[in-house]
Amino acid sequence: MSKLTIVMYHYVRDLKHSQYPEIKGLSVDLFKEQLQYFLRYYKIIKMEELIEAVKLNKELPDNSLLLTFDDGYKDHFEFVFPILDELGIQGSFFPPAKAIQEHHVLDVNKIHFILASVKEKKQIIFDIYSMLDKFRKEYSLENNEYYFRKLAKENRFDTKEVIFIKRILQRELPEKLRNIIINSLFNKYVSKDEGSFSRELYMNIDQLKCMKRKGMYIGSHGYDHYWLNTLSKEKQKREIELSLDFLKKLGCDINDWVMCYPYGAYNESLLFLLKENGCKLALTTQVGIADLNKDHPLILPRLDTNDLPKDRFAKPNIWTLKVINF
């Protein structure tokens, strides 16, 4: 069979009892339920099997499914890993190297925790607007309404206010100004101690090594968690080198490795560099079932955990019906 369901996870935690119950994540109970659903309908495969299938042009088992976990959260070590280990299932983990090595918090995560800490999202927009006003001249910015009209487009998971906050802080503004605004909001609403927050949020190197030893797969999620399609070829090269240094430190095979694009973003020059550097597979955030006969191995689509049932007794849903052979 050439079809493969790749499922993507981010936060998996005991949300109800956590400090940030509003964080958009999956509760541990529902994660367990979803695994039981998968075990009923799918065959959960290992990344090494997929790499081999691609390299040798081999068939995959019927109803293959691969579990992937982005961003190296400590959640994955604390909650996910013991559950997978007990069931004898492999997960593939994609930690952001710089955040883990240098105890930063990724901008994207700062934004999540800012959003989870402020109930009234208009308050955050108000803060952003007043900072834009302050820096308008220095950075030749457009007026506030221009940005809102351009960016505030709701999607299947978020309201337009939330999308506006994410987009303007993730990408739209110049990097330096983005950092100023994000850090000011993070200090005001979340924490004044980024180093400790980072150590609480992400796995450390020993935890990653431990998971690897116990059969989990670790791949690259870039170094600085950039939108890689926005970087020059030289900077893309540097990102790959640094992220491979990190994988080497963990004892990973850097001749056959897997990339998971931050934000799902890639372009032609990146694909070329990945190939040149021994990357065998790469995962996007395009929504869909992967098909090894049709898809480029460096542009594989995934499903989000929310696309599939989180109930062990659920009937096969539309994505499951697309692939399963009874």
Residues near Zn ion (CB under 5 A) are 70-71, 262
DSSP string of 11-45? -EE-GGGSS-TTS--EEHHHHHHHHHHHHHH-EE-
Which of 264, 309 has the CB closer to Zn ion? 264
Tokens in use for 85?
């280990």
- The minimum distance between CB 261 and Zn ion, in angstroms, equals 8
Comparison of 71 and 224: residue with beta carbon closer to Zn ion? 71
Nearer Cβ to Zn ion, position 70 or 239? 70
**In sequence order, what are the residues at sequence separation of 6 or more whose Cβ sits closer than 8 angstroms to the Cβ of residue 314?**
37
Task: Identify which of residues 3 and 112 has a Cβ nearer to Zn ion in the complex.
Answer: 112
Shortest gap between Cβ of 297 and Zn ion (angstroms)?
Answer: 20
Nearer to Zn ion, 28 or 97 (CB): 97
> What letter represents residue 55's amino acid?
K
Backbone φ and ψ for 8, nearest 5 degrees, come out as: -110, 130
Closest CA to 11 of 96, 86, 160, 112: 112
In whole angstroms, give the CA distance from residue 206 to residue 277. 26
DSSP assignment, residue 281? Answer: E
- Of 73 and 81, which has the nearer Cβ to Zn ion? 73
Q: At its nearest, how many Å lie between Zn ion and the CB of residue 288?
A: 19
**148/227 with CB nearer Zn ion:** 227
Closest approach, Cβ 262 to Zn ion, in A, equals 5
Shortest approach of Zn ion to residue 135 CB, angstroms? Answer: 27
Could you tell me the smallest distance in angstroms from the CB atom of residue 71 to Zn ion? 4
Q: Tokens 């910015």 — which residue?
A: 141
Q: Where are the beta strands (DSSP E) in 50-142?
A: 64-70, 92-94
Taking the complex as a whole, the smallest distance from the CB of residue 278 to Zn ion amounts, in Å, to: 22
SS (H, E, C) 195-254: HHHHHHHECCHHHHHHHHHCCCEECECCCCCCCHHHCCHHHHHHHHHHHHHHHHHCCCCC
Distance, in Å, from the CA atom of 259 to the CA atom of 276, rounded to the nearest integer, reads: 13
Which CB atom, from 38 or from 69, has the smaller least distance to Zn ion?
Answer: 69
Query: What span, in angstroms and rounded, lies between the C-alpha atoms of 24 and 204?
Result: 22
In the complex, the smallest distance separating the C-beta of residue 126 from Zn ion, rounded to whole angstroms, is 28
